[in-house]
Structure 1
Amino acid sequence: MSHAAILTLALLLDAALGEPRWLWSRLPHPAVLMGRLIGWADEQMNHGQYRRLRGVALTLVLVLIGWTLGSAIAALGWLPQLMLAAILLAQRSLVQHVAAVARALRISLPEARRTVAMIVGRDTAQMDGPAVARAAIESAAENASDGVVAPAFWFLIAGLPGLLIYKLINTADSMIGYRTPRHESFGWAAARLDDLLNLIPARLSALALAALSGHLNDWRAIVTEANRHRSPNAGWPEAAMARALDVALSGPRAYDGELRDYPFVHPTGRHFASARDIEAACTRLWHLWGCLLGVSLLVWIL
């Protein structure tokens, strides 16, 4: 069975079942195992001299593990590949987590702050309602790219080895890819490789979101704002989502008590985002998923 055929079925299976709580309350999720491996490596290797070199070595080992394990599982046939691909795609769980913020925002602001804190890394204790909504929408846009489009892209290109390499590097970036005194050197290689692996998927995500929302005419503005974003890739789907909803995203936020004056993406959009805008973002996520499914199905047929 071709990569496209397996990917098409995996997209459908993930959309139908998501991440069953009864299963992952009993077994460790593969992403959790990846996190444990990288956390152990951080503790064992991130000290002393040559931290950057040690980080490069870890990144190369992760690539080797992904390729070797993916190749071994692929040799067992299409069914194990389908199951693991469906587990590592995150469409339904992403929509559920984002939609939960909208529901919480309709209940109370404290509840919304607690819920959005589960999907963003910034400080949430002082957020007002629009800031909560913007944070949820930004998370939806970024994670649609690196949680769904990018894994699907690399599975289509390189099969299960490509998907596992991507997930390992993306997990490493989320854990050690920060510009902090502890991780700036050690996580350098993982962060740079993650940037490279997301280069095409982020731009494809933005292009699809713009096209599906009828905002291809704004492509030049999307490119301009994406290139001004603090991230080389996250700004692309974020800028496209901002125009799809006509909402200003990003802007000032606090990390570890320190206020950072980031510029707004699509500053002429509405600044008072609401629960309704979060729900509209979830709809856009399903539109993007449908586009991805259609491309995969077309490649399968051809």
Structure 2
Amino acid sequence: MDRRKFLKNATLSTAGFAVTNTLISCNDETKNTKPISSTQKPIPVLPLVIATWNVPNATKAAYKILENNGNALDAVEAGCKVEEADITNQSVGKGGLPDRDGNVTLDACIMDKNGNCGAVVYLKNITHAVSVARHVMENTPHVMLAGKGAEEYAYKIGLKKENLLTESSKKAWKKWKVESKYKPIINIENHDTIGMLAIDKNGDISGACTTSGLAYKMGGRVGDSPIIGAGLFIDNEIGGCVATGLGEEVVKTVGSFLVVELMRQGKTPQEACEEAIKRIIKKPNSDYKNFQVGYIAVNKAGETGSFAIHQWFSSTKYQDGKNENIQADFIVKAK
């Protein structure tokens, strides 16, 4: 008899004895005493910020807002703006690697506790795409603006035109043009999309996602990052998720929405991220060995999870005064 069956039989055989003794020992004082639930969930340690990749400056900026009783929406915008302005980060905002024609184009989205969302796609000449996305959400009847329309809207709300192609990124683009070979690269040394989730002291969740997209992509290409349900999804009753990696594969499984729905069914953030990655690699004819996708997620209890196809994906979490980088587990193990 294994241990599980033994415990089950032992429990059944002693049930009557335990109930009888409990009833006998009750008196007037204990009749009104409420039992302590063994399944009671621990109180979440809030506030909390988690972001894709090793971005301690971004999580620090977001956490500072939350520490000062700010809300999660302000926090994720502020955190993403740090990376958008960092010209050494060649996958987000100013300094991002261009498309094959030499144009730096940005995608971003944001989503609040009430399910409101905003996004911009194929945005040129504006560093802070995440701020434009928020303005779209809060001040227009739309969810998404694209291309020239998004750029013109950015000027109307006071953002300045900037040349996003830095000398460093221009040099890399010219080097690429020598052979002009395009193939998604499993990103190890640098990172792409920054996705960020935050829970404020009130327990409310918001998220944001911003990127310059795949380096040397076709002109007009849009990935998962600005697509609500793919690159980002928030449900304030359940939790939130953001994705990173090859956006086309995330879109095909509506990845972030999937993770949140799996948490709704009772899975932990970690279990939900793992299942979502499995959905990708199980697709017929999936070339998963040659591309990367990673997810991070958080639930209402303040629990987090992360998982990827390949090694080296990480997240940065700021919680309980600790700002730490965490390497994610992955499904494709070295042989």
Asked if Structure 1 and Structure 2 have the same fold, meaning a TM-score greater than 0.5 normalized by the shorter chain, the answer is no
In terms of fraction of residues, the more helix-rich structure is 1
Q: Which has the larger radius of gyration?
A: 2
Q: TM-score, normalised by structure 2?
A: 0.24
Structure in which a larger fraction of residues adopt strand: 2
**RCO higher in structure (CA 8 A, sep ≥6):** 1
